[in-house]
Amino acid sequence: MTAQGELEGKVALVTGASRGIGFAIARRLGQMGARIAICARNRERLERATSSLQRERFELVAVKADVTRSEHVSSLVSKTEKELGPIDILVNNAGTGVFGPFHELSEKDWDTVLDTNLKAVFLLSRAVAPQMIRRETGHIINISSLAGKSTFANGAIYCASKSGLMGLSGAMAEDLRAHGVRVSVVCPGSVATDFPSQKGKNVSKKLQPTDVAHAVAALVTQSPGSFISEVDIRPTRKP
């Protein structure tokens, strides 16, 4: 169990935080005392998430941003640092999926998924890493999927993006660990969200967004001399 106030004074930036897993992570980190920055592309959903989090009196900044675009990433990081302080925790959660037989999908489908699930992680991590290196502290957590390890029919582009994220995360961890910056990857199985690949599955048997948030909370409260590089999360019963 993690304690309230355990992240007092820390700044956490969570992408794709207007709903689902990202919202649950942001809320959990706020409950632990962190000052939180959230972003999403959809303004209406972002405003709803902001109102909900503000009711819990978290110190919060919300930014409408497309994290696949480098200029948006720069603005997001700059605004977070200006209003809350240097970023201690980055959770790269924003993700998307397009599903179907690979030979029926388009180049646009490929670009949409790879830009969101992989390029955005590179852009954001690259933006925050220099100040983490200077301060010799920080934690970057990338939300991947068990689909990065186990392929399935109609999931070619999504699986490719999450497999790539696994490789990127591992290499980032090696690049940054000597500087006191930890990089971890979380790989959930089926989570009860409105994500397209979950349609038709038994909701009662799925993971909950709070289960992923619990794993993130555990990662950011490790002792300084170690880091958990990878966490797999599966439902107790298969959906």
> Is 5 inside any structural domain?
no
> Is 229 inside any structural domain?
yes
pTM: 0.94
> Is 239 inside any structural domain?
no
> Is 3 inside any structural domain?
no
Judged against a pLDDT cut of 80, whether residue 156 lies above it is answered with yes
Judged against a pLDDT cut of 70, whether residue 5 lies above it is answered with yes
> Is 65 inside any structural domain?
yes
> Is 127 inside any structural domain?
yes
Please tell me the distance from the alpha carbon of residue 78 to that of residue 7, in angstroms, as a whole number: 21
Range of the domain at 174: 11-233
> Is 75 inside any structural domain?
yes
Active site residues: 158
CATH number of the structural domain spanning residue 49: 3.40.50.720
> Is 238 inside any structural domain?
no
Question: Of 33-37, 82-86, 193-197, 226-230, where does mean pLDDT reach its minimum?
Answer: 193-197
Report the number of distinct structural domains present in the chain: 1
pLDDT of residue 196: 58
Sheet holding 138-143, edge to edge: 60-64, 35-40, 11-14, 89-92, 138-143, 181-188, 230-233
pLDDT digits (tens, 9 = 90+) for 122-138: 999 999 999 999 999 99
